[in-house]
Structure 1
Amino acid sequence: MEDYLKPAVKLLSRYAAEGKIPGAALALVTREGVTSACVGNASLLPENVPLTADRLFDLASVTKVLATTTLALQCLEEGLFTLSTPVSAILPDFPHQQVTIGHLLTHTSGVCSDDKAYKKRKDRADLTRFFYEKPLDFTPGSRVLYSDFGYITLGYAIEAVYGKLDERFQTCIAKPLEMRDSGYLPSERGLVGRCVPTELTEERGLICGTVHDGKAFLLGGVSGNAGLFSTLEDMTHYVRMILDDGEYRGRSVLKRATVRLLKHCYTEGLNERRTLGWWSNERSMSFGDYYSESCIYHTGFTGTSVYIDFMRQCGIILLTNRIHPARDNPWIGEIRNTVHNVILSQITC
């Protein structure tokens, strides 16, 4: 297994030396076990600090799948809602009665994709009014358009029927998966000193240990779209659970039938292939050229990504702090593609 990772580690070391990323943590998960490596630096400011395996990364939108989607799937299993449940049946103030839980999970809701005017909002109530009052971008179910606001809404719905996102993540995901360092709000758990910094901004200074995403920050650091922090090792436990049909060391996090849902594309004939939460072998994504016919993938703006291949029975986790110290970094797509290529080209489907 170590041989599978060597070409990727060599590439990542070169990218770090060329200044295309400060550093990277990489893991390959297979049925035989886990191989991992760290290269480069955890931070460049205020000083160069080498990246080590115990560092926590701001997962950004990978939160959508590791936390929010997983909690939503648990809600399905418990009968708290179905994919066809109207969101307004759970959130009476949500104005779009035709939008369902399934639409939110597949980014086919038409809920506003993005609007930077949100930055003028003051708090959760103000932000919620802002995007609830916006008209839908399209008829629900007619196309795919990635929506942070849609996933914030999904987070609200989960909280309404299941409890607070951060508490449910700890109880229902982190604890059974032995993800000991993972969670929201690392400052409240004394883990800021181990966090990898992200962007240096005029408004917030050097961001470290608090969520980078502006919407999640406005929501207090706990949101359906972003806010989760994790280590490379913790994330390998999650990938192992998915590959083992929802179980980890004899503990069930998801049912086998629920994991099977993730192997189904819910957006056939639309502009992107989507399953619940994840991209589903969508060829426009940055997982290289060797992806299988049954795989799921998600990325985070900060430079994180997770690829799970059901045919190869493997997963690739790549954590970089590519927006440190600045977000004007065009290399992450190339890095993800080449790293996946040199690993997956060695593993037969």
Structure 2
Amino acid sequence: MSRTVLALGLLLVVGLTGSAAAATGEGRFDRPRRGFAPPDTVLQDGSPGDVGLDAQPIDDAMRRIASWTEPTPGLAHPMYAGAVALLAHDGVVVDRRAVGKELRYADAQGTELPPDQQEPVRPDTIFDIASLTKLFTSIAAVQEIDAGRVRLDAPVAEYLPEFGVNGKERITVRQLLTHTSGLQAEVQLWKLPPEQRIPSVMQLTPEHPPGTNYTYADPNLITLGVLIERVSGKPLDEVVRERITGPLGMRDTGYNPPPSELHRIAATEYESNPPRGLVRGQAHDENAWALGGVSGHAGIFSTADDLAVLGQTILNGGSYDGVRILSPEAVRMMLANYNQAFPGNAHGLGFELDQRWYMAGLSGPHTAGHTGFTGTSLVIAPESGSVAVLLSNRVHPSRDWGSNNAAREALAQGLARALAVRPTHGSDSWYADPARPATLTTGPLGPVSGPARVSFDAFVDTQNDSDGIDPLIVESSVDGQDWRRVALRASGPGAPTGPQDQLAGAGHRSWWHVVGTASAEPGQRLWLRWRYAPDARYIGRGVNLDGILVADRDRTLLDGERQVDRLRAEGWNQVER
């Protein structure tokens, strides 16, 4: 790897520098880790309690995953026919559930097969993982970069001269990996004669100048797959098998699974255009299918356990069970955000980063993953040493039956909620249930000698982006009727700078110390309340309060640790985690 590329990767991944973090078993959400897990960490089965997790949120999430295989209020159809969900933390698979059917329907309209012809999902059911394939292609590309055979910022045309036409001369390898090449989102290769399919991709004209726009585009990874084949001198499926799945022992992962495994493969769609009938054991993606089942953007089949191994390999810094497929420096590069110019579209090399819509409370600047059109997702959270895998066949029998994003979110959120947020004072903190508005009120306090200083510790993991804000607000009143917001200053990792009339934020995973001043005249009494009201779209770990202290210039008006009875809670609960 060149010194320039390595230095850039290290600069962009400050949060992943440092020595490898040992597996602690504490299951802490509020103690983000730095560095990688020990390189010899190998997955083993266990229970949530073995690694300090609360089992209840995980069980709740798994029950929801199971419920969506059946008719659900608000949904016209089951969300998916079947699914396998797996959660791992600190090298321990803490839960694995197989629900529903891998084959359920007789036609595209959703006519159910007779019960004796339906086939249940098993823990080792093989799923078409669709765009999760892009992660394997990206790893193969970074292996070439790591070995010095490809330069990250080299023009793609340096390796594929036929690509360097029609405005693509300056598109770089990095821009393919980060979806900033300017290429169009989709192509329909399956409508072309076989000999024209890859050449047509080489002839594409960008829709935007390279590096000026983020567009998630399959042609980026199709091209990257061709580049890997050209540089390595081998077909892409061989590269993936020899350099990734084979060394990692991922026996059920690869392109074009053999017919002998058909009974283990989840069915996908009944397709009429093209007229393929029931698709099972062949790539669901039409372009991957048209390319013989092998492409850089789609086509790989896998199991939940195999993908958990891939996730743990990334957490370990590129090695698993004594085999190294990437250097730690290369993994740091992969988990760097190269798309800071495109807020909301954080992207490493192939890996999506910090996508709250499916990573939920596990989100963070270096939380990595991807989704697949067939209903799959993989979330890798280095700061908590966690992996979440959801494989489903939500396109069986039809892609038009809807999304399974709610299931993706629920699974990651269950693991996030299972991780502890420990109190900063005493044995308990106040926790606001994100499912409903919460108000914590105290007063009347005083009479006061004048303005009162309000201080407390807050753990805030709430939405604060283009999809909305779910803030914590502190308000004061001198009559218990009219309330005004208290300006707050927070300090700690990820805290907003300057005075704030509300607190929101996510991804920092740390407690903040918060201070403010409640206005009051000498002789007046004072009421205070802490309000948290997430909207229906809220996704996050929630809000905790601890160490509440209120004082005027003469005395302490409230010590929340010793005078718990003076705090009236609606929607807030005292918790140890």
Question: TM-score, normalized by length of structure 1?
Answer: 0.94
CA distance in 2, matches of 1:282, 1:115: 25
Q: How far 1:293 sits from its partner (Å)?
A: 3.1
Q: Deviations along 1:235-261, whole A, 9 cap, x unmatched?
A: 111111111111101110111111111
Is the 1:9–1:39 Cα contact (8 Å) retained in structure 2? no
- Residues 230-309 of structure 1: pairs in structure 2 closer than 5 A: 230-271=302-343, 272-283=345-356, 285-309=357-381
Matched to 1:193, the amino acid is H
Q: How far 1:289 sits from its partner (Å)?
A: 4.3
Say whether 1:70 aligns with 2:142. Answer: no
- Residues 118-157 of structure 1: pairs in structure 2 closer than 5 A: 118-123=189-194, 125-157=195-227
Q: How far 1:311 sits from its partner (Å)?
A: 0.6
**Counterpart in 2 of 1:82?**
151
Say whether 1:323 aligns with 2:395. Answer: yes
**Counterpart in 2 of 1:346?**
418
Say whether 1:7 aligns with 2:60. Answer: yes
Q: How far 1:290 sits from its partner (Å)?
A: 4.5
Find 1:98's aligned residue among 170, 183, 189: 170
Matched to 2:59, the amino acid is K
Say whether 1:159 aligns with 2:229. Answer: yes
CA distance in 1, matches of 2:419, 2:224: 36
**Counterpart in 1 of 2:276?**
204
Q: Deviations along 1:34-61, whole A, 9 cap, x unmatched?
A: 1311111111134421100121100100
Please provide the CA RMSD for this pair: 1.6
- What is the total number of aligned residue pairs between the two structures? 344
Q: Deviations along 1:298-328, whole A, 9 cap, x unmatched?
A: 0000001000001111010000100001111
Is the 2:355–2:363 Cα contact (8 Å) retained in structure 1? no
Find 1:36's aligned residue among 81, 89, 96: 96
Q: Which has the higher helix share?
A: 1
SS of 1:21's partner is coil
Is the 1:29–1:239 Cα contact (8 Å) retained in structure 2? no
Find 1:21's aligned residue among 72, 80, 85: 80
Structure 1 stretches lacking a partner, 5+ long? none
Identity of counterpart residues, as a percentage? 32
Is the 2:81–2:101 Cα contact (8 Å) retained in structure 1? yes
SS of 1:128's partner is helix
Is the 1:288–1:341 Cα contact (8 Å) retained in structure 2? yes
Matched to 2:312, the amino acid is R
Say whether 1:186 aligns with 2:257. Answer: yes
Is the 2:268–2:393 Cα contact (8 Å) retained in structure 1? yes
Q: Which has the higher strand share?
A: 2
Is the 1:25–1:37 Cα contact (8 Å) retained in structure 2? yes
Is the 2:58–2:418 Cα contact (8 Å) retained in structure 1? no
Q: How far 1:119 sits from its partner (Å)?
A: 3.7
Q: Deviations along 1:79-118, whole A, 9 cap, x unmatched?
A: 11011111111111112210111010000011221144x3
SS of 2:65's partner is helix
SS of 2:360's partner is coil
Matched to 1:6, the amino acid is D
Is the 1:187–1:210 Cα contact (8 Å) retained in structure 2? no
Deviates more, 1:229-238 or 1:287-296: 287-296
Matched to 2:279, the amino acid is I
CA distance in 1, matches of 2:147, 2:303: 29
**Counterpart in 1 of 2:291?**
219
CA distance in 2, matches of 1:261, 1:129: 31
Deviates more, 1:315-324 or 1:133-142: 133-142
Matched to 1:27, the amino acid is L
Is the 1:195–1:209 Cα contact (8 Å) retained in structure 2? yes
Q: How far 1:294 sits from its partner (Å)?
A: 2.2
Matched to 1:277, the amino acid is G
Deviates more, 1:2-11 or 1:252-261: 2-11
Q: How far 1:75 sits from its partner (Å)?
A: 0.5
CA distance in 1, matches of 2:354, 2:368: 6
CA distance in 2, matches of 1:182, 1:70: 15
Q: How far 1:74 sits from its partner (Å)?
A: 0.6
Is the 1:24–1:320 Cα contact (8 Å) retained in structure 2? yes
CA distance in 2, matches of 1:21, 1:184: 23
Q: Deviations along 1:206-259, whole A, 9 cap, x unmatched?
A: 000000101111110000001101111111111111111111011101111111
SS of 1:345's partner is helix
Question: TM-score, normalized by length of structure 2?
Answer: 0.58
Q: How far 1:133 sits from its partner (Å)?
A: 2.6
Matched to 2:366, the amino acid is S
CA distance in 2, matches of 1:77, 1:59: 26
CA distance in 2, matches of 1:147, 1:173: 24
User: Given the superposition, is the C-alpha separation of residues 212 and 137 from structure 1 closer, same or farther in structure 2, using an over 3 Å criterion?
Assistant: same
Matched to 1:288, the amino acid is A
Matched to 1:149, the amino acid is P
Structure 2 stretches lacking a partner, 5+ long? 1-46, 49-54, 72-77, 107-116, 421-508, 510-577
SS of 2:69's partner is helix
